[in-house]
Amino acid sequence: MDNVSMGGGLKAVVYCSHTGHAKKCAEMFSNRLGVPCYDIKNIKGLGRNSNIVFFGWIRANKIIGYKKAKGFFDIKLICGVGMCKGTDSIIQSLIERNDIDKPFYYVQGGVNTERLSGVYKWILNIVRFGIGKAVSQGVSPDESFDSKAQAEYEDNKELLKDIQNNRDHITDSAVEELVKYYQALK
């Protein structure tokens, strides 16, 4: 991908990542925009109120690192990186639960169980079990199924495969969509 000159005073991209998806997306996005990329744990050199784009991984509907970033930077765009498909209701609930009053973009990252630490691995195993159960008890697609339940069933099936196979959704085209969204904000 070519680098695009964004202007507009964007100083940097800052991320908070546990297993690498938010980091990967933040790095690809910052390369594309030609600005530096920082881990929120090490923001030395970035001044207070700098204009940034923030990426944070999602844990139990909370965008990790956002509170700290919000108190320090002028955030132009908040990107939440989770494992689910970004449906309207998921996005709306993330905006409400995290008190987001700036532009928000949901990124489907992925799950990497090998990189998860102790308690998080354990929690994700419980989640995987719950989704597996929902899928196995789901009505097969050829039975009469309302469209919302059908979509939920399909999303759960995909999410289960994501977790079982450590699938990663951060691709060049996903980042390109995000760049387009960011450019349209200005």
Ligand X SMILES: Cc1cc2nc3c(=O)[nH]c(=O)nc-3n(C[C@H](O)[C@H](O)[C@H](O)COP(=O)(O)O)c2cc1C
Return d(Cα 122, Cα 134) in angstroms, integer.
19
Instruction: Specify the residue, 60 or 184, whose C-beta has the smaller distance to ligand X.
Output: 60
Least distance from ligand X to the Cβ atom of residue 170, Å: 8
Least distance from ligand X to the Cβ atom of residue 169, Å: 8
3-state secondary structure of 78: strand
Report whether 76 contacts 101 (CB < 8 A).
Answer: no
Beta bridge partners of 107: 81
Least distance from ligand X to the Cβ atom of residue 22, Å: 3
Return d(Cα 89, Cα 24) in angstroms, integer.
26
Least distance from ligand X to the Cβ atom of residue 53, Å: 15
Q: How many alpha carbons fall within 13 Å on the CB side of residue 92?
A: 3
Least distance from ligand X to the Cβ atom of residue 90, Å: 7
Tell me the residue number closest to ligand X, measured at CB: 82
Instruction: Specify the residue, 135 or 169, whose C-beta has the smaller distance to ligand X.
Output: 169
Residues that bind ligand X (CB under 6 A): 17-23, 57-61, 81-84, 109-111, 116, 120, 123-124
Phi, psi of 121 (to 5 degrees): -65, -40
Instruction: Specify the residue, 75 or 159, whose C-beta has the smaller distance to ligand X.
Output: 159
Measured CA to CA in angstroms, residue 83 lies from 74, 134, 155 at distances of 27, 17, 11
Beta bridge partners of 51: 74
Report whether 11 contacts 40 (CB < 8 A).
Answer: no
Instruction: Specify the residue, 8 or 41, whose C-beta has the smaller distance to ligand X.
Output: 41
Least distance from ligand X to the Cβ atom of residue 87, Å: 11
Beta bridge partners of 63: 58
Instruction: Specify the residue, 10 or 131, whose C-beta has the smaller distance to ligand X.
Output: 131
Instruction: Specify the residue, 4 or 151, whose C-beta has the smaller distance to ligand X.
Output: 151
